Structure 1
Amino acid sequence: MPKVEVERLWTHVHWLAILAEQGTYTAAAIRLGVSKSAVSQRIVELEKATGLSLVLRTTRSVRLTDAGNALVRDVRSAYEQIAHSFADVRDSAGVARGLLRLTAPVAFARQHLIPVLAGFLNEYPEVRVQLDVSDQISSIASEGFDLAVRHSNQIPDTHVAWKLCATHSVLVASRSYLQRFGDPQRPEDLVDHNCLYYPRGSDTPAWAFEALDPSHVVEKRLTVPIKGTFATNNSEALRDAALADLGIALLPDFSAQAGLKSGALVRVLPMWRSVGAFPEHIYLVRPYSAHVPRAVSAFVDYLRGRFAAGFI
């Protein structure tokens, strides 16, 4: 194929790769910021130029043929090298710039990430941030994210991870609730309380605890069944239910911090540590790459400086 023709089709192959990632012409068009018909036209032109069928079309989705996969695989490495070269040139001056695409869980993003973004953007005015707020664990690479916040105990080996901070779970309730129903003195007392919990698929929810002596050394462990009139898979909703005097909630510390600091919530069973309710670390994660853009490394350093001490 003539060099001029190869250069003309370079963008076509990129669009083919995006189509493969997104799975439908509509999703690919949205990702590229063009019309669905424009994507379709580029693919048809590419198939005519190569003389090959590159895409298998169904009523709901598309997938690449073996020839299409081979073409995308061979060209993708070239795109990555070009991207790294551009990034190296941009970063050579040591200035963070460009679009930084992030994804983060709802509670952490709303309560902690968004409030500190202004400081970062003021420090790095040439960086723009696009934040996806979701509790769904999406594929970082296929969705095009530069960085993800993950509340997790394990990170895939295919990803690079920076530990942001440790986190732990705390029992909290409003002062009004405890005045009405009493302050539990030991985990077994929870059976007489309305417990607000994160559903785990069990018909009989239970909370596990470790007893800490004054030196915070574990003395004993136990698991107690709990019951309650409200359960939800969102820690902000659990916190709000506790603030509304509904019962005793088990929360990750980053969701409880503001309420405890203001006095709207108080700790319950402070000498007992919850075990296994929520992950114990928050990480910043990105797919493995030989090059880390300056904007990413700057943002990682900034967040680690802000959150290294944890929350409570």
Structure 2
Amino acid sequence: MERFERDGLVFDVRDGGPPDGEPVVLLHGWPQDSSAYDRMAPLLHGAGLRTLAPDQRGYSPGARPPGRSPYRLREVADDVVALLDAAGLGSAHVVGHDWGGIVAWALGAWYPERLRTLTALSVPHPGAMARAVLTSDQGLRSAYVAAFQVPALPERLLLAGNGRALRQLLASSGLPDDAAERYVAHMLEPGALSAALAWYRALPFGARDRVGTVTVPTLHVWSTGDVALGRTATEATRDHVTAPYRLEVLDRVPHWIPEVAAERTAELVVAHTRTAA
């Protein structure tokens, strides 16, 4: 499977591993793409799992609708349901990092029948996150979200000098240089960064997209070196899951868990998928 369509949008997909293996959907965040899982995916394949890693809405060149509202959480979550339908899958394991983790939380609350297990890398449950913004240093950590709401200026600043500022931002947060170069090159494509930032800019349209209680087996992986996401929301996340839940903390690992801690994360995901057998 190389692509799928939804409402006239065309999404690119990396489909790997044994075709008859347990399916695992891998969802990337900002400003990544499906290559975020290049180190993890072969390890999952070696364990007999099939992986489907889409370039999500705004990241696939054929799926960059204009405006902000097309990037509401409900829309990007429904893109994953469309992927499952196109692949002929009634359900799958879902792993999401960063924004992909938020999508995974939404799927676990809205479409539990389509998930065998849920793995959220880095990001806590949105309900826990919202509370932590008001009660901890999470508000300061998340200040960039407000900055991204400004039209056009973030693109101008981040892409100046062939993406120099974006490259420096990613490197300073612990992303390996090769991955930073890859993601910056992708964001330099016409319209790509604006489409990626539209996920943030759509937040004011998401009042009805509340993510409730998750009822599927959940693994939450958080790292102490994450400058964007603190411990308060991480520890409160268990209150938003009624199914079996496990928190795994990676010491001194930065935000970029799939790229930096691929081996350990793959081990955790493989073990988690087997709990649903």
Taking structure 1 as the reference length, the TM-score comes to 0.27
Give the number of the structure whose alpha-carbon radius of gyration is greater: 1
Structure (1/2) with the larger helix percentage: 2
Taking structure 2 as the reference length, the TM-score comes to 0.29
Structure (1/2) with the larger strand percentage: 1
